[in-house]
């Protein structure tokens, strides 16, 4: 195989490869490059296609740049550090993809059939084992009449590219993207208004937790207009308007019909429990998989990575114990929030018997010492100190606490077992122990 890393930054065309490869991957975001790395280490010959920067949305214009903003003291510092952080991490991904078993082709690819993809520089390449679609997602825009003519409107990528801090920022959508940017830009000094159609922010989060988090952000100075539908951008008084109404699977140009794949009504690629592409109730092909945002299952970078690893294991006939029903998620507001497993609202709706135990940051010694007393944790379990079902929380380092719960759930732990586990004092992790003892 030819390693196209030697062509990075050159103007001369890449060679026409043709031929075959064990595994073809379309997209070099977190799902794609992590899958390529894992497959290569298992001895598979991998060809991966990426027409944009490696690392995908997450590294270049998503998770990583946003978190750089979260941890910056000012807008100026964020603008200075973000490109440095992104460049360093992107170089790391380039290094991963320089593995001798991996060929990186910096072009778009499309299907010829369920075994073959093609691109301008390489012609047709046959997958001897499988093809994985990992093309991620893109901004979902509201169909407003003036959406294309209002220069104030940006998506998250556009907001990260602003050179000047907006005096007034309006955010349409109170999901993860909207809430994180609201928290960050308010702290930087912008006058922030969040407009949301639903009655509460962060619908995937426990409603009690979401409401308390919103109230905390309101105290910081963010204005929320809940249960409000945007009819026209002309009605919004702001210097910049962020469209944060979700993400849409990216499938344009893949020629999926050639592989026997039909999109679901929401635009995602339907897959089975092993992420094989399906058509209706039948597998479209055993040889084509879709991982990450493009399948619409769990639109999280870490979900894409683990889905890719599972697919490679399926290809190689290796069993694994990855629990896709236990998927932690985080919101990096200030304070941050996180969850794993169902919320209390979901448990009630499903009629699942449960017990709810609560613990508060204000009762924790470390939180008091840090002056971080805003926070609530809700731990759900089967009755009588049984199996841990889930946990939702907001407060300083809530993400780290939820990660511990995720590990416990993967191990099938009970609340009774949690009570017997020693936690360092003083730490915020003792909040979880307090909930177990409640």
316-370: pLDDT as tens digits: 999 999 999 999 999 999 999 999 999 999 999 999 999 999 999 999 999 999 9
Supply the pLDDT for residue 385: 77
Supply the pLDDT for residue 91: 98
Element (H, E) at 187: helix 176-188
Q: Provide the 3-class DSSP secondary structure of residue 385.
A: coil
Supply the pLDDT for residue 10: 30
Supply the pLDDT for residue 309: 98
Spans of the chain below 70 pLDDT:
1-18, 280-285
The residues, ordered by sequence, that sit 6+ positions from 31 with a Cβ below 8 Å of its Cβ are 56, 134, 136, 291, 292, 301, 304, 305, 307, 308
Peptide bond into 211 cis (omega under 30): no
358 alpha-carbon distance from chain centroid: 27
Phi/psi of residue 78, nearest 5 degrees: -60, -45
412 alpha-carbon distance from chain centroid: 25
Supply the pLDDT for residue 280: 67
Q: Is 425 marked active-site?
A: yes
Instruction: Choose the catalytic residue: 99, 310, 423, 425.
Output: 425
Supply the pLDDT for residue 279: 78
Supply the pLDDT for residue 350: 97
Q: CB–CB of 369/426 below 8 Å?
A: yes
By C-alpha distance, which of 353, 357, 384, 356 is closest to 438? 357
Supply the pLDDT for residue 2: 30
Question: CA-to-CA distance for 338 and 391, rounded, in angstroms?
Answer: 8
**Beta-bridge mates of residue 387:** 414
CA 145-242-329 angle, to 5 degrees, is 120
Question: CA-to-CA distance for 234 and 214, rounded, in angstroms?
Answer: 26
Reported pTM = 0.93
């Amino acid at each position: 195989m030819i390693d196209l890393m030697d062509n990075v930054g050159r103007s001369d065309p890449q060679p026409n490869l043709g031929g075959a490869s064990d595994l073809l991957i379309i997209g070099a975001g977190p799902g794609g490059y992590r899958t390529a790395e894992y497959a290569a280490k298992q001895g598979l010959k991998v060809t991966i296609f990426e027409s944009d920067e490696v690392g995908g949305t997450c590294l270049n214009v998503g998770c990583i740049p946003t978190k750089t903003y979260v941890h910056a003291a000012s807008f100026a510092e964020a603008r200075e550090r973000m490109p440095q952080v992104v460049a360093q991490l992107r170089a790391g991904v380039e290094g991963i993809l320089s593995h001798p078993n991996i060929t990186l082709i910096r072009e778009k690819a499309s299907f010829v059939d369920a075994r073959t993809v093609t691109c301008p520089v390489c012609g047709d390449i046959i997958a001897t084992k499988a093809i994985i679609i990992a093309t991620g997602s893109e901004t979902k825009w509201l169909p407003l009449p003036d959406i294309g003519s209002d220069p104030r409107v940006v998506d998250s990528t556009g907001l990260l590219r602003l050179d000047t801090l907006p005096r007034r920022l309006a955010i349409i959508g109170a999901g993860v993207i909207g809430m994180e940017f609201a928290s960050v830009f308010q702290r930087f000094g912008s006058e922030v208004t969040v407009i949301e159609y639903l009655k509460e922010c962060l619908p995937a989060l426990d409603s009690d937790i979401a409401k308390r988090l919103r109230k905390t952000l309101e105290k910081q100075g963010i204005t929320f207009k809940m249960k409000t539908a945007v009819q026209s951008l002309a009605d919004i008084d702001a210097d910049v308007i962020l469209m944060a109404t979700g993400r849409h699977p990216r499938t344009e140009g893949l020629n999926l019909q050639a592989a026997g794949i039909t999109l679901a009504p929401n635009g995602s690629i339907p897959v089975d429990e092993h992420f094989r592409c399906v058509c209706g109730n039948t597998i479209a092909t055993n040889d084509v998989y879709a991982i990450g945002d493009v399948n619409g299952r769990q639109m999280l970078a870490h979900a894409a990575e683990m889905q890719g690893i599972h697919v490679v294991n399926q290809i190689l006939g290796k069993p694994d114990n990855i629990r896709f029903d236990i998927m932690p998620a985080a919101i990096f507001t200030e304070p941050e929030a996180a969850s794993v497993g169902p919320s209390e609202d979901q448990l009630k709706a499903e009629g699942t018997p449960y017990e709810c135990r609560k613990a508060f940051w204000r009762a924790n010694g470390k939180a008091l010492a840090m002056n971080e007393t805003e926070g609530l944790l809700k731990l759900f379990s089967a009755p009588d100190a049984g199996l841990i079902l889930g946990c939702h929380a907001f407060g300083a380092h809530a993400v780290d606490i939820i990660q511990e719960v995720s590990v416990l759930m993967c191990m099938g732990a009970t609340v009774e077992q949690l009570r017997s586990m020693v936690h360092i004092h003083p730490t915020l992790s003792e909040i979880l122990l307090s909930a177990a003892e409640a």
